[in-house]
Structure 1
Amino acid sequence: MNDKPSTIVGIDLGTTFSVVAYLDASGIPRTVTNAEGDLTTPSVVLFDENEFVVGKEAAKAAALFPDKVAEFAKREMGKPLFSKTFQGQSFPPEVIQSLILEKLKRDASEKLGPIKQAVITVPAYFNEPKRRATQDAGRLAGLDVLAVINEPTAAAIAFGVSEGFLNSQGESQRTETILVYDLGGGTFDVSVMRIDGKHYEVLATDGNVMLGGIDWDMCLAKHLVDRFADEHLIDPCQDPKAMSRFMREAEEAKRTLSARSQANVLIEFAGSVMLTTVTRGEFDDLTAHLLERTRFTINKVLKDAGIGWSDITRVLLVGGSTRMPQVGQMLQQQSGRVADRSLSADEAVAHGAALYGKILHAQQTDEPQTVRVTNVNSHSLGVLGIEKTTGRHRNRVMIPRNSPLPSTHTAQFETHTAGQPNVAVQVIEGGDSSGQNSTPIGKCVVHDLPPGLPAGTPVLVKFQYNADGMLGVAANLPTVGLTAQLRIQRKSGLSDSALIDWNDKMKEIYSALDLD
């Protein structure tokens, strides 16, 4: 390995495929090929005996050994444990993601020299626990994660640079209002961005972290299973290997239908063979409800941004699943314009992350900045308290969704009873006015309050939501001169002690496999 200075890389940590990019000597983003010579790496981990394999070989093994393979871990970020166990061992999703990141880091290091710093992309609709878990995955992989940046924002940055409507200083020649439609393998985002001069401003964002290309695959796979059962009177649903095979065939058929009007599918199971044809029209009908969910989200974002289709100057497609013709057709029908496919659907997000790394480096070193990015939060942040008059839970929203970041808000609360020994601040994300359907972020506790403190003592709670989507909370009791910087005891993800333990375990794994 050469001894070049450490390079800041951009990583698109995808649900189905991941990509690494860097800036060359001319400041142009380039994709780093992996050890197999490919631009993309399957986000799949095979746990086999006392070793694990990441990438293409793991993806191949999924059809034969589905019980040994971890796929779509990105969808489970923020949960305590991944939905499957391997050799009796349970893993948090961020640990599985760290294995993928370590593979990406190791392969990139072979081409670029030591890799220490990275910008990792996340869906714009990722909540705080999922963002935290992504940062933790990077730390477990030995990366200094400079920021997690929203995927549509990264794509818009890459688009502006590659299409040349930005000059050499990164300044736009005219104001652009872009709708970024990002449909990946496992997640969906839509963002409206305004690019004015050197300022990239997100006006509104929304999405669904449980909607992506694999849901189109599942619809088609179910259709194929039903055909097979009708034809041979055999139900493959109870056989994991068979279902994995049907999913792979459905994915291949979907890809074929993006280029042709029909696809032939040949499937063998339990000694029976089915040769069938699926037309693009049939596929579109089977998945129309999924496309409709994205259309609904688009119109919601436009409303949140306070603009209409006539204000949109470009519709930008990002994510491999936008190759499906139904996506472009729906967007053209809605917007009256042909969607822009000029960027590589697979590489654009990683390229934008690498460019954002340059922006962050300029901020840290006082170099001339190319562009300024203003993001928004995708979920409201609030405090769950008790309403005095009703005794019911009430969500006091501190930072509404789609607020420009960074954002700071301070609100006054009161102690509930006389002489209480501590103050607990229940931090939640999203949810309605009563806190229903919210995501618990954590409980911040100020201990050891002075004895005899009367009920109704003012407590000032300050939320600081940073541009990288990370949240800080502080409390101040002004009448007694007590101030505390609060540390969130997260209800999801790894605790600090668990993160240290897993970090030690990962070092042992990498050492045993000679991956360092």
Structure 2
Amino acid sequence: MRLGVDFGTSNTVCVAQRPDGTVTPLLFDASPLLSSAVYLGPDATMLTGADAERAALAYPAGLEPHPKRRVDDETTWLGEREVAVVDLIAAVLARAWAEACRVGGGAPTGVVLSHPAAWARTRLARLAEAARRAGIPPVTFVPEPVAAAAYFAAILGRQIPPGRTLVVYDLGAGTFDISVVRRSPAGFEAYATGGLADVGGLDLDAVVVDHARSLTAGAGAGWARLDWPETSADQRARRDLWLGARAAKQMLSRHPRADLHVPLVDVDLHVTREEFEKAARPHLDRTVATTVDVLRSAGVTRESIAGVFLVGGSSRIPLAAALLHRQLTVAPTVIDQPELVVAHGCLYAVPAPVPVPTSPAPAPPPILTRPVPAPPPAALAAPRQPPAVLGIPPRGVLPEDFPVHLVELTVGDRVGYTVRTYVTGDDQQTVAVFASQGPRLPLFRRPEQATDHAAGGDDHAMASILHWESLRESMAVAFLPLLPRNRYVLDLPSVSLERDPKQWLTDLIVQAGDIARELTYALDIPQGQDLLGPGTLLDRLDDALRAAQRSSLRRKAHRDLRAFDQARLVSGWRRVASLIDSHLDWPA
């Protein structure tokens, strides 16, 4: 078994590769993310991961939450003890090594350890010494963007031809790194790098906390205790607040709103994705500007970019991909668990050695009783496919303009995925067709499950459209991208319409109206068609909202919006969402 390790600022990820090629992330406290925090107690007991964070509630001076940030320091103080930074890093690596030995039933045969592309000899020497003190045999180093490029090519099946480049946008917990990777005779190399030391997931957590602070400005005493805790109870409250902020940030990547409890202030808040993105926009704008600066300095043109790959846990924020796409005009690639990319890609950036017998015995001549056909030429042999990861076969990603779209539907706290295409009827009207079964639309927990359902069966409406066979063949070997414009929230319009018209989420309501009309016709919901059809109240609202989106008509349109009966609008939208919801089969 081989081990790939991504030692990160806030979390460390380890991926094990067995001799048969299967790859599995190691779990620490039931999570693939091992907190990089290290704790040294008054009795000199050293703890790592979640154990360190829990112990620090009683003795906060003993915690170093981000050892990687101190790699340039010889020592640091934990409580009343001076500790070598290399020993803190070694403690994290030792925890990873012990778990790998336990899972594999013995020591891994090789360890590949990633590092930031900008790290030079001194920092790498410290990292190597930490691995040695952790009891790990000599490791192989791989720059993080090179590992990401290896994942991009080997697992996602995306090629980086000679002369083309891959842009690796790494928004981790503590820092932002941007790298330009190209293929060389020796493999991949990062030939241009840049980044921001003061932008990362922790700063975006702070955005959520600051937003909560702005909504509870009168609770100064509670916030003073959260900002400067003096007791163990205050320490726990502060930890709960920041964990809640991180969870809310992550939830807003998948849902349009999230709840946050502010301890000591004792209030429950609702945070919308729009509010979060507005507050986070300055940070994300800086990452995009840095990306463009690095590309310009390296002489990279738009035409030479083979792909933009988003890695690091905070890169799943939808606004990050949207801003990059708008600036670079290249659709970024992001996966469900971008935190695992670097640790996994390490194992493909440094292939496993192929065992060679030292004294092979000559094979006896075969006894042929009938002619044996010659083997096919090597040029016709099927290309080697990388192994499945967590049961998911390796695939590429279909282009953005592929005629079948992945669709995300949200109602309340439920999220499901399906696929959709458009066809033109005999009357020259374009209508949406979903992978529906009569009046029911099955939804799936994961995007690839929705694609596999549509491509693998003939019991749904899409199977009867022209050219379906060729479309399903493409879907069977490549993922459908989830584009921001194909994410719909069916019940949020009624919530938004309860507010003052100036605060209405115009784009969201218009998008929800589009998908609602498509679903009421595709699933044959007459009552929904009556509520959304031409000339109805909701149809007139849609016209007014679209006018409000046009700057030339915005002032008059906002006056027109105030003329609507908000109670009827809210009631109508709730009825529409309920009708559609009753025809959706949500994943269990």
Does TM, normalized by the shorter one, top 0.5?
Answer: yes
Residue 320 of structure 1 and its aligned partner are, at CA, apart by: 0.7
- Which residue of the partner structure matches residue 259 of structure 2? 264
What amino acid does structure 1 have at the position aligned with 2:248? A
- Which residue of the partner structure matches residue 138 of structure 1? 131
- Which residue of the partner structure matches residue 58 of structure 1? 52
What amino acid does structure 2 have at the position aligned with 1:263? A
Change (3 A) 1:243 1:126: farther
Mapped contact 1:178–1:314 kept (Cα < 8 A)? yes
Which of the numbers 216, 219, 229 marks the counterpart of 1:239? 229
What amino acid does structure 1 have at the position aligned with 2:97? K
Which of the numbers 85, 89, 92 marks the counterpart of 1:93? 85
Change (3 A) 1:80 1:222: farther
Mapped contact 1:264–1:275 kept (Cα < 8 A)? yes
Which of the numbers 5, 16, 24 marks the counterpart of 2:10? 16
Give me the whole-angstrom Cα distance separating, in 1, the residues matched to 2:181 and 2:357: 27
Give me the whole-angstrom Cα distance separating, in 2, the residues matched to 1:321 and 1:56: 20
1:258-307 Cα shifts (integer Å, max 9, x gaps): 122222211221xx412222222222232222212211221122123211
Aligned-partner SS, 1:247: helix
Residue 55 of structure 1 and its aligned partner are, at CA, apart by: 1.9
- Counterparts of residues 216-365 of structure 1 (less than 5 Å): 216-234=204-222, 235-236=224-225, 237-239=227-229, 241=235, 242-269=237-264, 272-342=265-335, 344-358=337-351, 361=353
1:106-143 Cα shifts (integer Å, max 9, x gaps): 00001221147422111223354433322222122122
1:206 corresponds to 2:194? yes
Give me the whole-angstrom Cα distance separating, in 1, the residues matched to 2:318 and 2:310: 12
Residue 232 of structure 1 and its aligned partner are, at CA, apart by: 5.0
Greater strand share, 1 or 2? 1
Which of the numbers 152, 155, 174 marks the counterpart of 1:159? 152
Give me the whole-angstrom Cα distance separating, in 2, the residues matched to 1:261 and 1:297: 28
Give me the whole-angstrom Cα distance separating, in 1, the residues matched to 2:113 and 2:67: 15
Mapped contact 2:168–2:311 kept (Cα < 8 A)? yes
Give me the whole-angstrom Cα distance separating, in 2, the residues matched to 1:165 and 1:252: 32
Mapped contact 1:75–1:210 kept (Cα < 8 A)? no
1:454-502 Cα shifts (integer Å, max 9, x gaps): xxxxxxxxxxxxxxxxxxxxxxxxxxxxxxxxxxxxxxxxxxxxxxxxx
1:72 corresponds to 2:66? yes
Change (3 A) 1:220 1:35: closer
What amino acid does structure 1 have at the position aligned with 2:174? G
Give me the whole-angstrom Cα distance separating, in 2, the residues matched to 1:77 and 1:20: 20
- Which residue of the partner structure matches residue 416 of structure 1? none
Mapped contact 2:114–2:147 kept (Cα < 8 A)? yes
Residue 209 of structure 1 and its aligned partner are, at CA, apart by: 4.1
Change (3 A) 1:338 1:165: closer
Q: TM-score, normalised by structure 1?
A: 0.61
The two structures, once aligned, show a CA RMSD in angstroms of: 3.0
Give me the whole-angstrom Cα distance separating, in 1, the residues matched to 2:169 and 2:63: 30
Change (3 A) 1:337 1:268: same
Mapped contact 2:285–2:323 kept (Cα < 8 A)? no
Change (3 A) 1:96 1:194: same
Residue 325 of structure 1 and its aligned partner are, at CA, apart by: 1.4
Aligned-partner SS, 2:334: coil
* Structure 2 unaligned regions, length at least 5: 359-383, 385-588
Give me the whole-angstrom Cα distance separating, in 2, the residues matched to 1:313 and 1:37: 36
Which of the numbers 35, 38, 60 marks the counterpart of 1:42? 35
Give me the whole-angstrom Cα distance separating, in 1, the residues matched to 2:20 and 2:274: 46
Change (3 A) 1:35 1:193: closer
Residue 95 of structure 1 and its aligned partner are, at CA, apart by: 1.4
Change (3 A) 1:103 1:24: same
- Please identify the structure whose Cα radius of gyration is greater: 2
Give me the whole-angstrom Cα distance separating, in 1, the residues matched to 2:343 and 2:4: 5
Give me the whole-angstrom Cα distance separating, in 2, the residues matched to 1:179 and 1:265: 35
Mapped contact 1:125–1:208 kept (Cα < 8 A)? no
Identity %: 26
What amino acid does structure 2 have at the position aligned with 1:205? T
Q: TM-score, normalised by structure 2?
A: 0.54
- Counterparts of residues 407-486 of structure 1 (less than 5 Å): none
Aligned-partner SS, 1:347: helix
Mapped contact 2:180–2:190 kept (Cα < 8 A)? yes
Report the more deviating stretch, 65-74 or 227-236: 227-236
What amino acid does structure 1 have at the position aligned with 2:173? G
Greater relative contact order (Cα 8 A, min sep 6): structure 1 or 2? 1
Mapped contact 1:173–1:197 kept (Cα < 8 A)? no
Give me the whole-angstrom Cα distance separating, in 2, the residues matched to 1:306 and 1:160: 23
